[in-house]
A and B are shown apart, each in its own frame.
Chain A
Amino acid sequence: MQWVQHNKIWAGAAALILIGAYAFYFVNSNIAVSMFSYAWFLAVPLVLGAMVGVMGERSGVVNIGIEGQMLVGAFAGFFAAAATQSVVIGVIAGALSGIAMGAFLAFSTVVGQLDQIIAGVVINIVATGITSFYFESGKTIPRGLPNFDVPLLSDIPLIGPVFFSDGPIALFALIIAFTLHFMLFKTRWGLRTRAVGEYPSAADTAGINVVALRLFNVTVAGTLAGLAGTYLSMEATSTFERNMSSGRGFLALAILIFGAWRPLRALAAALFFGFMQSLASQLQASDVVNIPQQFINLLPYVLTLVVLAAAAGRVRAPGAVGQPFVKGD
């Protein structure tokens, strides 16, 4: 209840949205469920990507390379699954490749003092190069990750079929957003992470190992990026295409900023992105408006610019984001 008093606007907005969604559900339950499911389907990689950004930027490391990390995750997951014909191994490979990519960013920027933005761009270009060079067409995986119903929760009207009848990675994305929020604001790790991201020299004076914490966070965050990629190639579809991350890593960054570097707001922002896209597709499919398909595909990118232009100035980045930390400097 204290939370509601402190966040009247947010609680009010959430209540309004929930009421609106259920009103829609009672008017036409089929379309409502399919639209919201599609919105969540589109939002999952954005949520995971934004969480990668949260973990990095809250500890002071910009991650422009989410896009590339996702792409490598999608690639590694799919081809490991294709080679071993095991979906489980695919998911593990996707997550591990994410760790490797995260570790690269972590060590090159935190230890090697490489500029964080350049490091991210390098990750993206290397990811594109490697995945297109080793790409083989015609490979198949035994099946995509299956959808399953979470007991009890999947029986809730609207929310159940939308959030609790999906594949494992989608469910994981939902859980990790709440977990990360709790961890960031209620645990010692979270306090330290935020301290390191805001004022590393003060954190250092207080005895926190800035370098180690940054290395840990950025590396572990890579797992989430790898899973986001695996979601694309093994859960949302069961195929790998070149450049299949198609800018989602950057959308995730925009969502991170729009969500003010807070996991749950980023989750809401990702849902908003997914919903807008889902709405546009629905409008086109039902011939309400006649817009060329290309414009529908452009929507998330334009939306990103609009949202960033609107959000800038209202949100504040972690104080030390982007700045290398040199002990004793």
Chain B
Amino acid sequence: MADPDLPPAKDAPAPATEPAPTDTGAAVPVVAERGATPPPTGVLGILVRHQAIVVPILAVVLAFAIGAILIRAQGFNPTYAYEVLFTHSFATESGLLATMQKTTPLILVGLAVAIPLKVGLFNIGGQGQLMAGGIGAAWASYALRDLPAALIVVVAVVVAVLLGAMWASIAALLKTTRGVHEVISTIMLNSIAVGLIDWLVNGGPLSDKGQPFPTSHAVPEGARLLPFLKLIPWGLPVALLLSVVVAWMLKRTTLGFELQTVGRNKFAAGYAGIGTTKATLVAMALSGGLAGLAGAFELLQIEPYRYQNGIAGSLGFDGITIALLARGNPLGTIPAAVLVGAMRAGAPTLQFQLGIRPEVVDVLLAITLLMVSLPVIAKLIFRRHATKQTQLAGSWGA
């Protein structure tokens, strides 16, 4: 399968074809180094050509090795811990369901980070957009509680997508009209979402005052998305389908071409008549919509079917890990999300069976992110054949 990876992996030995990073005017000539090193052959050649896959796998392996040292330092047997973690997540019925339930929103938030990455935007607001979607679905499903269940689900999902898209669009508009960098604005919007929703469900208009703890009203019985055949959460096929659709959109449609062109060189895109503004708005709205959808599934298919503070966990931030692990490839978000989902689903078991704190998963994921983002690893193995990393910071001062 050809991968629409950010830097064209197939052209790795010829950095001359590498598009210039989105630098702001300061002339950084891309010196052609064609012929400087012949493309490697043999095993190394295969590895170099597939480094979009090799590097993340290596990063995960390294992260688990470092994690093993940390677990050992806490006085536990790391191999046994990993065995317990993954046995639960994949080989027990409840664990597998939990894994799939976690994977659903993770694929979507992974896409929500991956799409803007193509445009050179870093959406850290997946968390807030997911929360906006979740609370939207909670509100819609309760407001329409007397309608037929199927209609409730559809409307709740649509409201969630729109709210998520709206929340992301605030950041996009601030960027396009006022030049506010999306990293700061999306982080602020995350915090604002937390506070607003806390108010809404904690004494505000959406709170269920019959409950002893702050919560929204429950989703009506019929509208709860119980697992299909008691095995597969409804959201999972939707998320899988969407990641294929996004991959197709980016690779095969005009819109996708425009987005990628802007991401590679916005000045060239501008000369070609492709607007940065449009690309920014579209990419952020799409990604917000996907994160909002994740929020809807989080609410509609997982107990307690209510919006409570903290149900979003750190899904939005896991989306960053997933997108970088997938190297921005929409299809790559699927295995990455399965891995993260399994770890999240198995974390409570580690606590029950071994007494290891579930936060160990946070550490493992953080180290994974660290390993996959450090270009050093790829450079050590591939030397000058390593593909270049994503360049985002160039837009900071712009």
Query: Which A residues fall within an 8 A CB radius of B?
Result: 62, 64, 108, 112-119, 121-122, 125-126, 128-130, 132-133, 135, 199, 246-247, 250, 253-254, 292, 294-295, 297-298, 301-302, 304-305, 308-310, 312-313, 316-323, 329
Contacts and interface: CB of A to CB of B under 8 A. Distances in A.
A118 B392 contact: yes
B365 A129 contact: yes
Interface in B1-49: 23-24, 26, 28-29, 31
Contacts of A309: 174, 178, 180
Interface string B358-398: 01101101110110011110000000000001111111111
B396 A295 contact: no
A104 B188 CA distance: 25
A12 B195 CA distance: 37
B50 interface: no
Contacts, number: 152
Given A114-B373, A313-B179, A320 B26 contact: yes
B260 interface: no
Chain B, interface SS category: helix
A144 B36 CA distance: 60
B375 A114 contact: yes
Given A114-B374, A121-B122, A295 B195 contact: yes
Given A113-B389, A133-B359, A126 B178 contact: no
A126 B370 contact: yes
A305 B122 contact: no
Given A297-B195, A323-B26, A308 B203 contact: no
B324 A118 contact: yes
A129 B396 contact: no
Contact of A319 (B26, B29, B369, B373): B26
B87 interface: no
Contacts of B203: 292
B185 interface: yes
B54 interface: no
A117 B184 CA distance: 11
Task: Give the size category of B's interface with A.
Answer: 35 or more
A309 B184 CA distance: 11
B320 interface: yes
B191 interface: yes
A125 B198 contact: no
A125 B393 contact: no
B365 A312 contact: no
B358 to A, nearest CB: 9
Contacts of B179: 312-313
Contact of A114 (B124, B389, B395): B389
A132 B365 CA distance: 13
B397 A329 contact: no
Nearest to B200: A294
B231 interface: no
B188 A301 contact: yes
Contact of B187 (A122, A126, A247, A312): A247
A132 B359 contact: yes
A304 B196 CA distance: 16
B129 interface: no
Contact of B317 (A125, A130, A292): A125
Contacts of A295: 195, 199
25 contacts: A62-B393, A112-B374, A114-B374, A115-B392, A117-B183, A118-B389, A119-B373, A122-B366, A125-B320, A126-B366, A128-B362, A133-B70, A133-B363, A247-B191, A250-B184, A297-B195, A301-B188, A305-B180, A308-B174, A308-B184, A309-B174, A312-B180, A317-B396, A317-B398, A329-B28
A298 B393 contact: no
Contact of B362 (A129, A305, A310, A323): A129
A260 to B, nearest CB: 12
Contacts of A199: 26
B204 interface: yes
A128 B369 CA distance: 13
Contacts of A114: 373-375, 389
